[in-house]
Structure 1
Amino acid sequence: MSEETPKEHKKDKAHKLHEQLDKLQAEKDEIFARLQRLSADYLNFQKRSSKQIAESIAYEKESIIKSLLPVLDNFDHTLANTENLQDSTELLKGVKIIYDQFLAILKNHGIEQISTVGQKFDPNFHQALTQKSEPDKENMIILEEFQKGYKLGDKILRPAVVIVNKKASEDQPQVSDAGSENGD
């Protein structure tokens, strides 16, 4: 057997290192190419997602508007026939039908009215317009609804504007509606 000279040993080692370097370079190039493909795929995914979201929003808008068109048609028919009405009861019936139809459409789209009168005031769902004092009612109970509130699932679209009962505390004097105490 022939022994390798130190020069040949260095050459052989350099050759092996060069092969390893070539192999690592090839792996790096492959990984870089995969990264570029993944990056391009991700950008395409983002574009597709944005387009799909925009299309979905447009579809939902169209769907909502289409569901409202029959309500508009019924208003047109009701208004066109008001000239022939002798009393307002028929008009009120027509308006009530349209109102119920509109509420049904809102419900089909997941929108619900917020309960108010007789309920305990909740600032998450209600906005107090003013307070009244009705001693026979519980404190902070909603007495009247000024404007309806609506929610979509758990999200409040608009709080209900309400009038809330505020019991007068016993240390405060009761104010009379009959006039002032000094006889003015």
Structure 2
Amino acid sequence: MKTGKDKNKPDSEEHVDKHENVEGQTVTEEQETIPADHQMPDVPTDTLSKTEEELSEMKDKYLRLFSDFENFRRRTSKERLELMKSGGEDVMTALLPVMDDLDRAKMAMENATDVDAVKEGLELVFGKLASILQQKGLKPMDAKGQPFDADLHDAITQTPAGDEMKGKVVDEIEKGYYLNDKVIRFAKVVIGA
């Protein structure tokens, strides 16, 4: 059994890597020499140690930078989660007085004999709610009589209308709203045909 040698060659023949050099002569690896101008220059040990020291410093700076970035990423991720959890806190805090007013209106309706007084109270609470929501950036959409716009309106149905109302919003089923100039709810409308 042949071991350590090529199985296709006879036992007596040893394998020698041969190739042609630049001049076209066939040489073995043992015969090939590196020209003097291509040999590695002797590097002083103090330059080598300085280079190793600089490399070590660069690795340390890289690890510190990487660590700082990972800490920043974790911190911002945690802050984003906390913001999502408590993002509406200021709106909810602003709405608490409205909830208090609604509770008082509910209690007043149980014993009320004057419907007009209850109606006035509810209108005041509604006005207060609308004011708070406007302060937070909520703005109602004015759709009735406007040309139909698919970016703002959600058409529920069409109804026959005169020539002046063709392609326009005839009726508003559900009001649409903007939050800081971004549509957060499309107006559900009836279009004139």
Check whether TM > 0.5: yes
1:14 aligns with 2:14: no
Match of 1:37? 64
Task: Kindly provide the amino acid, as one letter, of the partner of residue 80 in structure 1.
Answer: M
Match of 1:83? 110
Deviation at 1:138, TM superposition (A): 2.7
Match of 2:191? 164
Contact 1:113 1:151 in 2 (8 A): yes
1:129-140 equivalence runs, <5 A: 129-135=156-162, 137-140=164-167
Match of 1:149? 176
Q: Deviations over 1:17-56 (max 9, x none)?
A: x333222211111111001111111112122222333344
CA distance in 2 between counterparts of 1:36 and 1:55 reads 29
Normalised by the length of structure 2, the TM-score is: 0.71
1:111 aligns with 2:138: yes
Contact 1:121 1:164 in 2 (8 A): yes
5+ residue gaps, structure 2, are: 1-40
CA distance in 1 between counterparts of 2:129 and 2:150 reads 27
Aligned residues: 153
Structure 1 stretch 102-111 or stretch 90-99: which is displaced more? 90-99
Contact 1:137 1:165 in 2 (8 A): no
Q: Tell me, what secondary structure is at the counterpart of 2:184?
A: strand
Task: Kindly provide the amino acid, as one letter, of the partner of residue 14 in structure 1.
Answer: D
5+ residue gaps, structure 1, are: 1-12, 167-184
CA distance in 2 between counterparts of 1:154 and 1:68 reads 21
Deviation at 1:162, TM superposition (A): 0.8
The structure richer in helix per residue is: 1
Match of 1:54? 81
Contact 1:126 1:159 in 2 (8 A): yes
Superposed CA RMSD in Å reads 1.9
CA distance in 1 between counterparts of 2:58 and 2:98 reads 60
Task: Quote the sequence identity (%).
Answer: 30
* More RCO (CA 8 Å, sep 6+): 1
Deviation at 1:15, TM superposition (A): 5.3
